[in-house]
Amino acid sequence: MVDALPEVAGSMPQRNQRKLQFQIRCLGTKHGQAVYIVGSAIDLGSWDPKRGVACTTTPQLFPSWKSANITLPPTIQRLEFKVVMQTPSLADSDVKWEDGSNRFVELPVSQACSQQIIVSCEFGKPHVNVELCTVVAASLVPDDHNDDGPFCKQKHTSASLMLEDHPDHMSEPGESEAELGMQTNEAEFSRQTSWPSRNASRHLVTDSQGSFDLEMTRTPSLMLIDAKEFEDAAKQKDIELVELERERLNRIQRRVQSCTLLDEMKSITEYSDPSRTILLQAFNWESWRTGGGDWYGVVSSNIDMFVQSGITDVWLPPCSQSVAPQGYLPSQLFNLDASRYGSQASLQQLLQTLHGVGIRGVADIVINHRCGDRQDSQGRWNVFTSGMQSRASFAGVGDWQGWAVTLGDQYSDGSGQNRPSHLDAKFDAAPDIDHANLAVQQSISVWLRWLRLEVGFDAWRFDFVKGYAATFVGNYCQKSEPAWAVGELWTDMKYDHQGLMHSQDKHRQALCDWINGTGKAAAAFDFTTKGILQEAVRNCEYWRLRDSSGKPPGLLGWWPSKAVTFIDNHDTGSTQKHWPFPSDKVLIGYAYILTHPGIPCIFWDHLVEWSAGCRQSITDLTRARRDSGIPVDAEVRILQAEGDLYLAEIGKPPALRVALGPRSAGRPDESYWSDAARGTHWRVWVHRVDTAPT
């Protein structure tokens, strides 16, 4: 390995100067990422990705990327490099190196004339193509005159290791260095060039030393590029590329090792940013009755509303065939056509439409229990079939018998391996599944990967997680690579003779313990905050919204980045009303969760089925949250928490201000705060300066 030596600056270009340009085809970049070249030479960062060579692209070139010219001294004969993808912030956590050994290029030793070397390759593929353009004497002497003076013309040669499957050539017709006619003379540039017909301007650009900057000269004027159009085109291209890669992985998912598959799935996973995530539960307890058996079509018809309301993730109902129409007594896991919410094709179309507008799909994963298809010889419903008929490679996956049921369960035949833990809650309506059984784990992991790759889901909501150990949720997340995950741990809160007790630390500690049990792979619904908040607004007891340490009293006060806050869901509200939020105080609740830390979840009924005024208020609140740019773990400064008034400022410096309760909070500093949203007994202000992330 030979390191590059520093070049000696001079008034004239060196006659044996070598310029190197990288041209990379890279399909896997996401919005906000760029391609960099990192290698052994100092000019390539000496293997430090923060000092690598940046490549650029355009809507016309993408997915091809090009670097600027790098001037190499003649002493370098062998160059090693790799291609990396990372965000412009150059954070270590954002760097993705391509797999495999280092790439290398054997460089010719320049004897007299300048050389232009173009190295092209494709991210993740081993082959490298090298083109060499040698400059020979030209301008002031006849073509056949043997003179190696400063005026030169270029001749092309090429090196081997041709790039496979590379239909997109990096350079456009008529735009090579030879056709541009660059002359290395500071005083003049004489050449008549016929530019290709295109909607872009061209300029002759020189650097600070007077040399012509070839890359800038051949780049279309940015003044003629619509930035919004460019961004939209790039996002659409990202979506198309992800879909193509997902389809490829779906075809091979049962033919490769799971570790290899999971590693490749990372490239198509848009991991959620909890600071920007707003979840919508897109169904209620009666949704299976709606839409003529195609609830997915109903959801799809409201996607424009979701976009306007700032929704980033949509939680859909359980999609498998189920004994109960709501989906929470699943039987044939792979049979999505027997769901009362619609067909597999309709579900896949909905998810594709959501992806087209940048919204992730969250699947409701019901695996604590499962209903058998048939009875065993003793009449127990513990014979399970998968429901998969279209793909032979999935044969037998999810075909279980009594051995998959926990010992001691009424549906067990005694052939199982494990009893439930003493901490596991019992679900009497269906067989409790033994997740400690490795065959069960493998089947569920395959099913989750199938939901991601064939169906198109991005993330998971785990149902009834108090019925099995948190470690299994962490394992399933590890085996399926979701964008994020959240679990429903609904346990009892503490009451005394006066009602709900002020301190619910034990309740929120249980949520923290469960999150830790998953290896921090999943967030948890913040039932603590729901219980305290609805008690506070119902009885005008806003003192409940501050704990003994001066923090918010729910999970969001201790671990906000893992707290999914909500007002109601299909169990607590809807037609079940097991634990409903006071209906006349719902917007006060949203004014709280949409301005505070955590990941807020909006309920379908409140956004879609209630009044247009309710929908507008929720939209105003999500806009205020987005405009303020508060992070998921924003600081909360509680100014007042009394019987009839809660007043707090969120963010550091404060970016949101919220007042809840019938008592007036007074007028804040109007040079700092401006009105964002208001309603009966609630009001929200946003800092006048736009602090949203760029």
Neighbours of 142 (CB within 10 A): 9
- Measured CA distances, 517 to 423, 474, 475, 560 (Å): 13, 8, 10, 17
Q: Is 534 left (phi over 0), alpha (psi -120 to 50) or beta?
A: alpha
Q: Of 635, 667, 638, which is closest to residue 652 (Cα–Cα)?
A: 635
Pair 245, 26: CB distance under 8 Å: no
Quick one: how far is CA 316 from the chain centroid?
18
Number of DSSP helices (H) and strands (E) in the chain, helices first: 15, 26
In the numeric block, the tokens 């939020």 are attached to 581
**CA dist., res. 632 & res. 625, Å (int):** 11
245, 294, 399, 488: the active-site residue: 488
Which residues fall within 8 angstroms of residue 465, CB to CB, at 6 or more apart? 368, 473, 487, 488, 489, 514
**CA dist., res. 586 & res. 621, Å (int):** 13
**CA dist., res. 253 & res. 261, Å (int):** 7
Neighbours of 462 (CB within 10 A): 25
Active site residue 48: no
Q: Of 48, 117, 37, which is closest to residue 76 (Cα–Cα)?
A: 117
- Measured CA distances, 562 to 363, 484, 648 (Å): 18, 10, 21
* DSSP per residue, 133-149: EEEEE-TTS-TT-----
Pair 427, 368: CB distance under 8 Å: yes
Torsion on CA atoms 73, 76, 78, 84, rounded to nearest 10: -50
**CA dist., res. 684 & res. 673, Å (int):** 10
Quick one: how far is CA 173 from the chain centroid?
37
Rg (CA), the chain: 31
Q: Of 364, 542, 319, 536, which is closest to residue 464 (Cα–Cα)?
A: 364
Give the helix ranges, DSSP H, for 181-320: 214-217, 227-252, 258-265, 295-300, 303-308
Q: Of 65, 26, 77, 50, which is closest to residue 267 (Cα–Cα)?
A: 26
**CA dist., res. 290 & res. 574, Å (int):** 14
**CA dist., res. 626 & res. 622, Å (int):** 6
Report the amino acid identity of residue 557.
G
Report the amino acid identity of residue 513.
D
Pair 21, 213: CB distance under 8 Å: no
Pair 42, 4: CB distance under 8 Å: yes
**CA dist., res. 501 & res. 518, Å (int):** 29
Active site residue 463: yes
463, 481, 620, 649: the active-site residue: 463
Residue 556 is given by DSSP the state: H
* DSSP per residue, 359-383: -EEEEEE--SB---SB--TTS-S-B
Neighbours of 115 (CB within 10 A): 23
**CA dist., res. 487 & res. 511, Å (int):** 10
3-state secondary structure 196-226: CCCCCCCCCCECCCCCECHHHHCCCCHHHCC
Q: Give catalytic residues, as residue numbers.
A: 463, 488
